[in-house]
């Protein structure tokens, strides 16, 4: 997950602790980082997509739990800092995000007064980030249009 910064003061979220041991968010929410973590938990993976395409037993559950915790931590950090309506996940880990999304939403509803909507953009080589940006722009335009239609006219 990445944020496009409007102000230079907001640093990348990836350096924050994920809530899983000493792992950072980058360590669990990036393809390479999650692959390293999965291997350290005993999964014999050569590529990260094997985590969802070739599910293994017990160690997989631990990795998926850690990934879910990292998503909840990242979305919580964004929510309390920026109060967005939506958070978009794009890229190679999208299938795993889809898998854990119901549990992540459940946890967020317990810990945040108002959790942002989480959307997952399917990966297409070279287009994932562009598509996520387009979805975010479209959602913002729809929200502004809805507000302008529903807002009563000033009585002058």
| Alpha-carbon distances, residue 20 vs 29, 61, 64, 114, 137 (angstroms) | 12, 14, 12, 24, 33
Q: Give the pLDDT of residue 6.
A: 42
Q: What is the CATH number of the domain that holds 65?
A: 3.30.420.40
Token pair belonging to 115? 């959790």
Q: Is the pLDDT of residue 118 over 50?
A: yes
Is residue 70 included in any domain, yes or no?
Answer: yes
Is residue 127 included in any domain, yes or no?
Answer: yes
* Domain boundaries, position 106: 13-150
Q: Give the pLDDT of residue 13.
A: 77
Quick: pLDDT tens for 24-36.
998 999 999 999 9
Is residue 88 included in any domain, yes or no?
Answer: yes
Domain count, the chain: 1
Is residue 7 included in any domain, yes or no?
Answer: no
CA–CA distance, 39 with 131 (Å, rounded to integer): 31
What does the mean pLDDT of the chain come to? 81
Q: Give the pLDDT of residue 127.
A: 56
Of residues 25, 151, 143, 128, the one with CA closest to residue 84: 143
Token pair belonging to 46? 């050569």
CA–CA distance, 51 with 145 (Å, rounded to integer): 41
Is residue 2 included in any domain, yes or no?
Answer: no
Q: Are 24 and 13 in contact (CB under 8 A)?
A: no
Is residue 156 included in any domain, yes or no?
Answer: no
Give start and end residues of each alpha helix (H) in the chain.
25-29, 31-40, 50-53, 58-82, 94-111, 128-150
Token pair belonging to 138? 């479209």
CA–CA distance, 71 with 84 (Å, rounded to integer): 15
Is residue 6 included in any domain, yes or no?
Answer: no
Is residue 8 included in any domain, yes or no?
Answer: no
pTM for the full predicted model? 0.73
CA–CA distance, 86 with 49 (Å, rounded to integer): 26
Quick: pLDDT tens for 71-109.
999 999 988 888 888 888 888 899 999 999 999 999 999
With cut-offs at 50, 70 and 90, classify the pLDDT of residue 3: very low
């Amino acid at each position: 997950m990445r944020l496009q910064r409007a102000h230079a003061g907001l640093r990348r979220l990836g350096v924050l602790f994920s809530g899983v041991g000493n792992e950072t968010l980058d360590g669990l929410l990036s393809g390479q980082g999650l692959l390293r973590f999965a291997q350290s938990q005993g999964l014999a993976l050569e590529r990260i997509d094997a985590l969802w395409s070739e599910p293994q037993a017990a160690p997989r559950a631990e990795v998926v739990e850690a990934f879910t915790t990292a998503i909840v931590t990242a979305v919580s950090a964004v929510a309390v800092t920026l109060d967005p309506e939506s958070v978009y996940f794009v890229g190679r880990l999208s299938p795993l995000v889809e898998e854990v999304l119901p549990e992540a939403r459940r946890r967020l509803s317990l810990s945040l007064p108002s959790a942002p909507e989480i959307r997952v953009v399917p990966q297409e080589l070279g287009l994932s980030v562009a598509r996520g940006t387009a979805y975010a722009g479209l959602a913002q335009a729809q929200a502004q249009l809805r507000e302008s239609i529903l807002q009563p006219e000033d009585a002058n």
